[in-house]
Amino acid sequence: MTGGSDGTLVPGQLIDFSLSIDVPQISGDSDVDLRVEIFEMPLNNTAPNIHICGPEILSLGSDLQFSNASVSAPDASPQIIHANGNLGHVSKAIFDLGPVETVADTSDSTIQMKFSALALRHLIGNSEHAVLSGVAVKDYSTIIINKATFTANAELVQFDATANVEFSPSNLMTNEPSSLDIKLHATHPSFKMVIKVFNPNGFDALFNIGKPTIVNLGSGYACADLSDWEYKPTFSRTKNNYGKVTLLAPMLFNVDQNRNVEDDANSIDIKIPVTAMPNYAGPQTLAVGVMLDEVEVWSNIFTINIGEEEYPAPSPVQPTVSAKLITPHIYGGSAVIYELTISVDPEKTVHLLIEAKTSSDDVSAVTAELIDSGLCAILPVHQQSENGGVLLVDLGKCTNIDSSKSTDLKVNIAFHVSKDIGQSETRDVDIKISETEVTGLQFTTYDKSYDIGEVTAMGSSLGFSEYEVLPDTEIGFKIDVTIPPTVNDVSMSIEAYTNVLLSDVQFQICSISVQNIGSALPCMKSSSSSSVHNKSSSTKELEDMIKWDLGQSCPGSILGYSNSNDLSIKFIYRVPNQEFTHSKLNIIPAIGFYLNQESLFAASQNITLNTEDVLGSTTVQLSSNNYALTKTKPHIVAYVKDMDVESKDIAVLKVIVKIQPQTRGHFIYKFNTKSEGFLSTCRLRVTHIGSNIPCGKEPTGYVDKYSSARLNYIEDGSAEIDFGVLTNWGEHEINYDLYPDEDAIELLGFLRVTSPDSTTKEVRFVHEIASTQQQKLFNVKPGSLTNYTSNLNPVFEEILEVSNDTRTYSGIPKIIGLKLDVPAGFSNQITILFKNPDFETKEYGFCDVNVTKVGDNIPCLNLDSANQIESNEQDEPEGQISYSLYVQHYEYSQKMDENYILVEVTILTSSETTGDISLEALIEETQETASITLNLETPDLATLGRESDETFDVSYVETASQYTVIPSQKIWIPFTVSLPRFAQMPLILGFLSPSHYGRAILTVEDVRFKRSDVLSNICCTGPKVDAKSVYEVTNAPTTNISTFMQKDYIEINMGYVKNGHYTLRQGYELDDHSKFEIEVLIQGTDHQSAAQGSEFPISLAVKSRDIIAVTSQSILISRDGTGIDAKRSVIIYESVTDDLEAEFVSGDKIFFTGVLSHSIESRAEAHGMARLVFLMPRWLTIDTSSCSTNYSLSGECKVVSTNDDRQSNVIEFYGIYFSSYISLNFSIVVNELNVLPAGLGIMDSAIVSFVQCTMSSFSGYPDSDETPVLCGRYEHNSIKVKSPACNHRFELNECSVTASTAISEDAMPGNVLTDDETVWTPAVRSGKVWREEIIFDFQKMTRVSKVQITFSTIGYVLPNKLSFMSSTSGKYWKSVSVVEEAEAQTIATFDPAVYTRMMKIVIENQKDGQNKIGIKHVSWEGCPPDSSEARMENG
């Protein structure tokens, strides 16, 4: 070994060596293998710090003959060994030359080699290092060693690095390719370099990012080996582009000793292809970062404006193509792989449309794979098909973005050789790229026999084996498999399974993946099969078995490719938290690798599961599987485009949570936890969970009971997602950025921002996970929304809620969707009126209106405030329903689907309705309409819904305290009915209350659907649906009771019910959504069995066809009240009559309608004879023939009249219970007994009623069950009865008459009592007109109804006014009546009669004060004191 000598060594120093090996004469009979090793060796326990660079065989002596066909100069490739697994740092190179012999003399049997040794950056001062070469000759046991020793002379030096942008486009058209050009200067003697390109805000669909390419290395760089560089592109979520790329150079070496950061010798020119993707017009950003030895030395954010104009697609040109066979050893059944180098001229485009075929039946084309895209702007396309034996693969179009140099692409094309092919067989293959044919491609199979070889496999845990296994925690392990080139044409498969015998335990396989498939396994890469998930038994609800057919092996032998025949299989599963029957479970999950259906390898784990504990939400576990990973705290960051917002605006946050690798914990993400009421969550959803978190689930779609992910919106405007237990199985440090990579959970949150006043306010937003918090500050400015309305283009579409059956059946709910296309800027309240235009002839009902699908551009549609109004009365439906909601458009996404709202209306026809029915919708604000016609079919009820699982369940609703009822109290008792997810089934519900001795202990009064906190997907069971109007409801007594009007059973026949899956279309369906809640109204009785503290059940039976499910809710009886009010019966009689203001006379019948029932404060029932007693005057009696009631089978009342002093009438009933609502219709006859006093005028006649009954004795009241007591309060009615008139003439003497004056002794007042020619004439006075009066004293109180006055007209005048006044004493007078313009015969009638002792007639306004007035006669009529009527009135 020459070229290197002992001496000093500094970082970055390159030493060249040459090696000459003289091979002695070796006969062909000798079995001699030759092996050359070149390596470094630290001499004083220091770390390796010398890189072996460029080992190469320069020449092989002509006298040497090698059996290994791959041994040739300079193509022989050594086996490379890296120092401590550090890619890029080669510590040893091995040339295994295999069997060798000398064919002549030894004059030309020398092997010439060269290599270099390079000192690395971290060389330690004064450390000693050696570079050695060795030659080993097998069988001869000959070892020859050469050695060069060096002493390090290293000082601590700070090395500089910088970069600048050489070019970046400011504008790109849609689909236009370009590049980002960067020049990096680094003075480090050796370094690892990482280049990352991504959108800084994590929006990965904006650009397609190509492979960062080193287009020029400065002269100071040596030993550059690009084969070890790792290029990692990451698909965007659209799968249409690469949204993030990483280029890792394991080691670069700079031998320039000047270490000047500005010197071009230290420069690296980097070019990154980028292509603008469609649908993202506007300014968009890309970030580029460069790290050297894990330290970021440079980063930059590029802003590129994407235009809406489409880039004109360039016409493809024909490329230059060359091919190289990279699998020299070809066996029967193995792979033949050609590496194609495709050269694309500057700024030209080549269509990578590949055709591969062969004319031989024993060779077939398998696949084509793009290995290196060079400087191509190319979208990730791989479309493969086969046509007539020709393999067609489209890898997309490559545009060389370099304007000065051509670029080379690498494509591997694989062929499969039949296992039956012989040795030394030659075959031709044909390959064409676009229209360019690659000619002269030929291979020959190996000319010697070979051993089949063995597949090797090794299993290992993925981590966390040091922790106790708890429910929901994940368990994972892997198998590393190596398939040598000689194991060919065997079928391969994987099976993964858990304990089949634990039939009552649910397991879930989260993922099984085949990773890192080596490039020498093309048949596996081309396999289109995927894993098949199954359930191990019928008792399993989750898929706990996986079988994966990996297809046929056709391994190749690729020279210079490490790990090209390897693959890894990862298997991860969990035991969800569930109802376990044992505290400890022994679990043995296993994974097997099969060749030709025979097990090659099986890995299993014997695990004990502790079912009595769970992983707490504050604990994060760190696996010891990877000592380099030490962090446990997750990373959380949010991106907000604009922190300055106006009140009522919508803000969008993109949140990235990155779980540290090899950690697990119970993670709960809390969103908007301290917004002080000024922020409210409109929508929160998970948009990405990285592949390193395989058991993580998005709380979207159908979330079963075994899924730990739950989304919860909180009343204060916050939201949270409980992810349950998550494990990150990653093996590398996380990237602290906004990119949603394999370690990330990405969330999208929409907030409504409000400002409390007219000032700008700083509003704090806080979010957290696992005690890691981040906050953002919004500047909220005053503002208000401006209403803007535009067309919504409503269109009806049918909803396939159960299956693909689009038919509409009579009597079965049908869901119809109204799709609204909300335009940009829309902001207004809208009201949708759904209407049945043919309601008169085609009746159907509306029972549900739900908003389901809502695009991201309408994120703050408040479903809770949506107003559903039925414009019809329940008993007289008008065939329409309206629905109002506030719609505000927010421009978040450019996808058309994100502008849609789907409003679903559920209709229910009667089973008799057939033919076509129509449905119309009107948006009142825009006056837009939509309509649809549905054809009703009669369902086959014998088969309808039979294909779905008809198992269902019913349960009572658990509460914190037991339901308690006191006598007469009514309470609603809720029950839950659970139906299958795809239910379409008949359903009948029956509620039954307990009874004893023929009486109900609890009665059932009503039924209704309950407004639950959990949404229900069961059609027509919402709280706005009146069960009695929509369904057939029967409330009746069973044969268990004999009491009148008590009901102990209520049944609701719902016909066919359907699970409409509204919440699934809303995006978040739970098992709880397949339930509905129904309430039964019960009432407590005072049954003698219902003692204090006793309990009785209310039962619910649910029937579907032949299946019945039953449950019951226990009701506690409370009777611990004190005092009579807690024990007494309060029965009220309320009645009305025809007209309370009417005046009734003798012989009239007054019709009464009344209801007899218990009041709300009643606490006891009339269990025996009950009497409704009426107290009223003797002139009022009940007409027994007219009394009717609903409380007897005949409908007749039992009326009993009594002759006691109270003049009572009684209606008797047997038992008046809390459920009793007794109607009474009867007539009261006026003066049927002819006892009504006459002359009394209008008499207010009172009717007083009360109930007397016997009731059960509790706590000493009443004295016994047979003691009659007052059962309620007195009720009062009053009617007006008109007494007969009294018209007897009064007989008075002249002493009873006095007057104010008399004109003479012949004209005294007593003259008016005689009907002759004598008169009473008052004095005539001149001057002022005088009032004259005449007074009659009847001596006793009496009733006066009429007076007749006769005036003399011969010689007398008539007064023009007469006033009549009454008095009981003669001291105080009361005006009774006035007569204007008296006549010769004047009659005054008093109605009602005047009850008085004295009457006075006042003469006023004499027509002529000088003329006389003469009254001949005055006759009074009424009830004189000595009449029979007067005597009856006075007792």
The rounded mean pLDDT for the chain is: 87
Cβ contact 1176:1236 at 8 Å: no
The three-class DSSP label of residue 1227 is: strand
Distance CA 575, CA 595 (A): 29
pLDDT band at 922 (very low <50, low <70, confident <90, very high): very high
Structure tokens of 1110?
A: 């039953």
Give the tens place of pLDDT for each residue, 669-706: 998 877 677 888 999 999 999 999 999 999 988 888 88
Distance CA 925, CA 649 (A): 23
Structure tokens of 460?
A: 């290992």
The three-class DSSP label of residue 1225 is: strand
Span 1389-1393, average pLDDT: 86
Cβ contact 545:497 at 8 Å: yes
Q: Is the pLDDT of residue 1411 over 80?
A: no
Q: What is the pLDDT, as a whole number, of residue 527?
A: 58
Span 1163-1170, average pLDDT: 89
Distance CA 969, CA 1161 (A): 9
Q: What is the pLDDT, as a whole number, of residue 1319?
A: 94
Q: Is the pLDDT of residue 74 over 70?
A: no
Distance CA 554, CA 518 (A): 12
Span 1007-1033, average pLDDT: 87
Q: Is the pLDDT of residue 1248 over 60?
A: yes
Cβ contact 487:566 at 8 Å: no
Q: What is the pLDDT, as a whole number, of residue 798?
A: 82
Lowest mean pLDDT among 152-166, 290-304, 688-702, 1362-1376: 152-166
Distance CA 758, CA 777 (A): 18
Stated pTM of the model: 0.77
Q: Is the pLDDT of residue 1095 over 90?
A: yes
Cβ contact 1044:1191 at 8 Å: yes
Among 481, 654, 633, residue whose Cα is nearest residue 568:
481
Q: What is the pLDDT, as a whole number, of residue 865?
A: 41
Cβ contact 1280:1142 at 8 Å: yes
R_g of the chain computed on alpha carbons: 53
Paired with 249 in beta bridges are: 193
Q: What is the pLDDT, as a whole number, of residue 701?
A: 87
Span 1237-1262, average pLDDT: 86
Structure tokens of 64?
A: 């040497």
Cβ contact 521:366 at 8 Å: no
| Backbone angles phi and psi of 423, in degrees to 5 | -80, 150
Give the tens place of pLDDT for each residue, 520-556: 888 876 655 677 888 888 888 888 888 888 888 888 8
Q: What is the pLDDT, as a whole number, of residue 648?
A: 83
C-beta contacts of 422-425 below 8 A and 24+ residues apart: 422/332, 423/447, 423/448, 423/449
| E runs forming strands in 434-488 | 436-438, 442-444, 456-461, 474-482
Q: What is the pLDDT, as a whole number, of residue 1391?
A: 81
Q: Is the pLDDT of residue 1211 over 80?
A: yes
Which of residues 923 and 645 earns the better pLDDT score?
Answer: 923
Q: Is the peptide bond before 74 cis (omega within 30 degrees of 0)?
A: yes
Distance CA 1189, CA 1181 (A): 18
The three-class DSSP label of residue 743 is: coil
Structure tokens of 273?
A: 């292809």
Q: Is the pLDDT of residue 873 over 60?
A: no
Give the tens place of pLDDT for each residue, 1054-1084: 999 999 999 999 888 998 899 999 999 999 9
Count how many Cα atoms sit within 13 Å of the Cα of residue 971 in the half-sphere of its side chain.
18
Pairing assessment for the beta strands 383-387 and 390-400 based on DSSP bridges: antiparallel
pLDDT band at 793 (very low <50, low <70, confident <90, very high): very high
Q: Is the pLDDT of residue 1410 over 70?
A: no
Sequence-ordered list of residues with C-beta below 8 angstroms from that of 387, at least 6 positions apart, any chain: none
Structure tokens of 383?
A: 């479309």
Q: Is the pLDDT of residue 192 over 70?
A: yes
pLDDT band at 945 (very low <50, low <70, confident <90, very high): low
Question: What's the start-to-end Cα distance of the chain, in Å?
Answer: 156
Structure tokens of 1082?
A: 């019960």
Among 182, 191, 192, residue whose Cα is nearest residue 213:
182
pLDDT band at 871 (very low <50, low <70, confident <90, very high): very low
Paired with 1051 in beta bridges are: 990, 1034
Distance CA 1246, CA 819 (A): 67
Distance CA 509, CA 531 (A): 12
pLDDT band at 870 (very low <50, low <70, confident <90, very high): very low
pLDDT band at 353 (very low <50, low <70, confident <90, very high): very high
Show the CA angle centred on residue 1019, arms to residues 1013 and 1025, nearest 5°.
70
Cβ contact 1324:1332 at 8 Å: no
Q: Is the pLDDT of residue 282 over 80?
A: yes
Lowest mean pLDDT among 293-297, 556-560, 608-612, 1344-1348: 556-560
Q: Is the pLDDT of residue 780 over 80?
A: yes
Span 585-598, average pLDDT: 84
Pairing assessment for the beta strands 14-22 and 110-119 based on DSSP bridges: antiparallel
Q: What is the pLDDT, as a whole number, of residue 801?
A: 57
Span 471-496, average pLDDT: 87
Torsion (CA) 1375, 1376, 1379, 1380 in degrees, nearest 10:
40
Q: Is the pLDDT of residue 783 over 90?
A: no
Amino acid at 385: S
Q: What is the pLDDT, as a whole number, of residue 754?
A: 79
Q: What is the pLDDT, as a whole number, of residue 1329?
A: 60
Distance CA 686, CA 721 (A): 9
Q: Tell me the longest C-alpha to C-alpha distance in the chain.
A: 198
Q: What is the pLDDT, as a whole number, of residue 1053?
A: 95
Distance CA 928, CA 794 (A): 7
Buried b (16+ CB within 10 A) or exposed e, 939-970: bebeebbeebebebebebeeeeeebebbbbee
State percent of the chain over pLDDT 70. Answer: 92
Distance CA 13, CA 189 (A): 8
Q: Is the pLDDT of residue 915 over 80?
A: yes
Please give the C-alpha separations between residue 1371 and each of 1344, 1367, 1397, 1399, 1402, in angstroms, as whole numbers: 19, 7, 12, 12, 15
* Tokens 């907030």 belong to residue: 751
Q: What is the pLDDT, as a whole number, of residue 341?
A: 96
Helices marked H in 151-265 — which ranges? none
